Structure 1
Amino acid sequence: MKVFVAPLDWGLGHATRCVPVIREFLRNGAEVEIAVVPANAAFFREVFPEVRQRIAPSYNIVYPKHGFNMGLWLLKKSSHLNAVIRYEHRYAEEMVERHGYDVVFSDNRFGFYSTRAHSVYMTHQRRIAFPPALSTLEGIGIRWHNSLMKKFDEVWVPDVEGFPGYAGALSHVEGCPVPLRYVGLLSRFAGLETLGSGDGSTSGRNVLAIVSGVEPARTQFETALRQILAQVPGEHVMVLGKPQKGTRSWKEGNVEFHNHLPTEEFARAVRNADWVISRGGYSTVMDLAFLGARCIFVPTPGQFEQTVLARELSSAGYAAYIPAHSFTAGALEKAFQAKVALPAPPREDLLQAAVRELL
């Protein structure tokens, strides 16, 4: 069985959550190849050095400087997005014809399916989140997303079936045009939950800050973290989410910087930290749930699904939440007082069952 895995290239989260999927296909004897773009090729080369990579079309997404322009920006870019969807579909069909893939696995790539191969579409965001003033449009978003799902043979949701799960209303939506199954939480850190942490000897707090996402929001978040952590007593770590720049590390004041950390080192950094601060994309939530982190989420402006997710996790007592416009040293100190904990992922291996049934 030959499988072609294609993660969306809007940030690194889609790539990281494909790691357990690829591992499970390989474990079951499938031959796997990965559709990559320059931004995630180095990451996959580190995790799967023996797996063949093939260059795929990139969405080349750059978010607007101000989040409140996102709706207008999406309308302006709709022709570009539709062109990429059409192009990636032609690419997928051509690759299946040329290389004989039996399964095409798309993580949120809307056009990455083939009429000649069994096509699986994975998404946690079955509901397209809108700001409260535009919430009446959510039904339109669900219908639009369903129209894309019809092109695939089945849909996988990286969450548990019982509401609210971990993604809440984003992943739990009634009705689907094709067979649907929940495959549980997906994390490259599965199996590293008990990785030893340090002795915790530090003056003040020990904060791990994870920078992620697409520009310019990624750099804006990095700048804010640099300024704020310099005011927080303790020895902190910041991971910049730049695997393409290697594993260079350096220190500035009370913050140790890393362009990127390999999987086990990253897991140790999380388990050493008193708190983890991140944007709060869903892939990050799944990773941190596996590692038992105490989290403070600062959603990316304009990515309203992150805001919805952070609010729901905060309301459930799973994590602390600070809006980006309120992210200050004072707000961070207040968040440190919250008593929160992400629930441990269920032990049932839903992904293993899904892969075995598919193969």
Structure 2
Amino acid sequence: MKHNKKRILIAPLNWGLGHATRCIPIIKALLEHDFHPIIASDGVALSLLQKEFPTVSSIELPPYNVTYAKKGKNFKLKLIKDSPKLLKAVKDEKKTVKEIVETHSISGIISDNRLGVYSKKVPSVFITHQLNVLSGSTTWLSTKMHQKIIKKFDECWVPDIEGTPNLSGKLGHTENFDIPTKYIGPLSRFKKQYVNYVNKVLVLISGPEPQRTLLEEKLLEAFKDFTGKVVFVKGKMEKEQTIQVNRNITIYNFMTSELLEKTINESELIISRSGYTTVMDLAKLNKKAFFIPTPGQFEQEYLAERLTRQNLVPSCNQDDFSIKKIEDTKDFEGLKSFNFETDYKELFSLF
């Protein structure tokens, strides 16, 4: 009799590229442990995973279509204004997932921050590094709302270490949370390579518009008279990869994992947003970095401030960045990886 592999739906949120990229090691582990993953997402997150796993089947989910405010201080207002749109998207998502579970005979679900991707019929896991959701004066409310959603799932997986030192700080660690929570260790699709530096600076830009473009324009301007070799990755998932060379700057629209891993390893300094997935990736590769958090995004601001306070990575606001600031990095230690092996066999025993 033919052995039928259990089908696991894995669904990252399409918000920047971080949720999709940190699902890459999980999809690989599912394949290694003889499961049949099915990818479900939308937009750039979906196209990134389709490029990484051309033979794995994928399904498009309804988009959330949340964008960032132009000004950081309006971030929260914009989210509140968008919330009816978001609630409708989650409702559509639940309906779609219900159909997928039935038509594709799904045995388990792994949702990375997609709020409506769960089912009462099969074990459902929620991946998040935010047991506390920072939103300034409304943190208690955003945290309560998020935890209420997580309780609809059977387990919560936190991509970090339970003890200290850890990467997520108070985001991923909380006293009072009564859903089965597993700390699965930092997730990264990359491996460290011991190579000589080719580039002085690698600029990684990602995240929702319009802030992605605003940062891109600012940094291209800042680096135009820089003497060292600079590589720019815009984080725009387009059909074809494009490469432009502008004196000392080489600009890519996007890179696949393999090329990005090689380029990060070959670069002396990384300048990027302080999204949690980026923090995990750069820790795995033991990199020196400089962080510019997305304006008004409390979580990235908290992570950047925390790492600067711990003397690991300097950071500043988008408006305050200048090329002189990167000289600060020599006084900082850079990020370090943890020796933590994720026990996927144990994690997947849920299914």
TM-score (norm 1): 0.92
- Equivalent residue in structure 2 for 1:49, among 30, 43, 54: 54
How far apart, in 2, do the equivalents of 1:216 and 1:199 lie?
32
Q: Residue type matched to 1:106 in 2? A: S
- Equivalent residue in structure 2 for 1:236, among 230, 238, 247: 230
Deviates more, 1:231-240 or 1:299-308: 231-240
1:181 aligned partner = 182
Q: 1:328 to 1:245 in 2, by over 3 A?
A: farther
Q: RMSD across aligned C-alpha pairs, in angstroms?
A: 1.6
Deviates more, 1:10-19 or 1:224-233: 224-233
The secondary structure found in structure 1 opposite 2:173 is: coil
Q: CA deviation at 1:281?
A: 0.3
User: Equivalences for 1:323-342 in 2 at 5 Å?
Assistant: 323-333=317-327, 335-342=328-335
1:316 aligned partner = 310
**Could you list the per-position Cα deviations for residues 115-171 of structure 1 after superposition, in whole angstroms to 9, with x for gaps in the alignment?**
11111000001111133xx2xx32222221111011111100000001451011110
How far apart, in 1, do the equivalents of 2:226 and 2:345 lie?
45
User: Equivalences for 1:108-127 in 2 at 5 Å?
Assistant: 108-127=113-132
How far apart, in 2, do the equivalents of 1:57 and 1:163 lie?
38
- Indicate conservation of the 8 Å contact 2:124/2:153, yes or no: yes
The secondary structure found in structure 1 opposite 2:46 is: helix
- Indicate conservation of the 8 Å contact 2:197/2:267, yes or no: no
**Could you list the per-position Cα deviations for residues 219-268 of structure 1 after superposition, in whole angstroms to 9, with x for gaps in the alignment?**
00100110111132211000111232422111112110111122222112
Q: 1:324 to 1:354 in 2, by over 3 A?
A: farther
1:25 aligned partner = 30
Q: Which runs of 4+ in 1 moved over 6 A?
A: none
- Indicate conservation of the 8 Å contact 2:9/2:106, yes or no: yes
1:257 aligned partner = 251
How far apart, in 2, do the equivalents of 1:82 and 1:177 lie?
25
- Equivalent residue in structure 2 for 1:343, among 331, 336, 341: 336
- Indicate conservation of the 8 Å contact 2:312/2:335, yes or no: yes
- Matched residues, percent identical? 35
Q: Residue type matched to 1:337 in 2? A: K
User: Equivalences for 1:30-179 in 2 at 5 Å?
Assistant: 30-131=35-136, 134=137, 137-179=138-180
How far apart, in 2, do the equivalents of 1:142 and 1:62 lie?
21
Q: Residue type matched to 1:27 in 2? A: E
Q: CA deviation at 1:314?
A: 1.1
1:285 aligned partner = 279
Unmatched segments (≥5 aa) in structure 1 = none
The secondary structure found in structure 1 opposite 2:330 is: coil
Q: 1:38 to 1:67 in 2, by over 3 A?
A: same
Q: CA deviation at 1:25?
A: 1.0
How far apart, in 1, do the equivalents of 2:132 and 2:164 lie?
14
Q: CA deviation at 1:356?
A: 3.8
Q: Residue type matched to 1:243 in 2? A: M
**Could you list the per-position Cα deviations for residues 294-325 of structure 1 after superposition, in whole angstroms to 9, with x for gaps in the alignment?**
01000000111000001111111221111112
How far apart, in 2, do the equivalents of 1:352 and 1:139 lie?
33
- Indicate conservation of the 8 Å contact 2:291/2:314, yes or no: yes
How far apart, in 2, do the equivalents of 1:199 and 1:83 lie?
48
How far apart, in 2, do the equivalents of 1:327 and 1:31 lie?
45
Q: 1:287 to 1:235 in 2, by over 3 A?
A: same
How far apart, in 1, do the equivalents of 2:31 and 2:315 lie?
37
2:192 aligned partner = 193
Unmatched segments (≥5 aa) in structure 2 = 1-5
**Could you list the per-position Cα deviations for residues 53-73 of structure 1 after superposition, in whole angstroms to 9, with x for gaps in the alignment?**
111111112111001001211
Q: Residue type matched to 1:99 in 2? A: H
How far apart, in 1, do the equivalents of 2:122 and 2:92 lie?
18
